[in-house]
Amino acid sequence: MSKRKENIRTLGSVVFAVAFFFLLSKVFSFNMAVSGLLAVGMYFGAYFLLKPSGKIGKREVEEVKGGESSLALMEEAKRDIRSMEKNIDRIKDPTVIRYVTDLTQTGRKILVYLTEHPDRIADAHRFCDYYLDMAEKLTSTYIDMQKVVPDTSTFMDEYGGAGAYASAAASGKADFGAAALESSPERVMAQVKDALRVLNGAFEKQQRRLMQGDLMEVESEIQVLKDMIKMEGDS
């Protein structure tokens, strides 16, 4: 539930409780203490009754097994996708833009399917809680690294990409030199870029498996990503 809705729910409960207190104490001349206790009960009763009935697609949350946790999982997944979409315009590398764009598009297709089939959300827990979260964090990390890394895209394009440029720089053939790519931020950007590529494959497999009714498990991709994004003391 959003903070705004929660505030409205709390305020409404307080209004009901106060009105009930004055009704009992002033109109019916109940004892103040008794009126206060009954008003407290009214508050909790109203708070419970004012709880919004959430839906996942066309299904009421209560009709879905683990409905509350499934709804929360879907909301978090949507926030991750929206965050990635907002960050696309901040990415400079066209290849990374394509990777992130493809991730958001595939992610939205999966979420549409899950909204239409809420009973499958439990099967997609790893995707919503791990894959999308990792994609969002990797995208944010790449953008953060851009702030401290000079734009080497022009130089790297001359050598066929970052990997080819690194080899050329190491052999002394690249005019720009190897120093920039050897520094930590450049290594991180290269790792993140490749991790986003791997994640795209994982997203596509998850979509296919979900449509086929299989559990969403792609352990090999997870291990690849874990190995790939070990950075500066992270494990």
Q: Which residues contact 215 (CB under 8 A, 6 or more apart)?
A: 123, 209
pTM here is 0.60
Q: Which of 9-18, 53-62, 81-90, 130-139 has the lowest mean pLDDT?
A: 53-62
Contact 108, 81 (CB under 8 A): yes
What mean pLDDT do residues 110-139 have?
85
Q: Which of 130-139, 173-182, 191-200 has the lowest mean pLDDT?
A: 173-182
H-type alpha helices, 88-183: 94-116, 125-126, 132-146, 153-157, 162-170, 179-182
Residue 198 has pLDDT above 80, yes or no: yes
The whole-number pLDDT of residue 168 equals 44
The whole-number pLDDT of residue 39 equals 81
Phi, psi of 55 (to 5 degrees): -130, 145
pLDDT band at 4 (very low <50, low <70, confident <90, very high): low
Q: Any idea where the domains of the chain sit in the sequence?
A: 3-49, 57-228
Contact 186, 149 (CB under 8 A): yes
Is pLDDT larger for residue 9 or for residue 81? 81
Cα 201 from chain centroid (whole Å): 18
The whole-number pLDDT of residue 60 equals 64
pLDDT digits (tens, 9 = 90+) for 62-113: 556 666 677 777 889 999 999 999 999 999 999 999 999 999 999 999 988 8
The whole-number pLDDT of residue 117 equals 81
pLDDT digits (tens, 9 = 90+) for 114-123: 888 887 777 7
d(CA 148, CA 138): 16
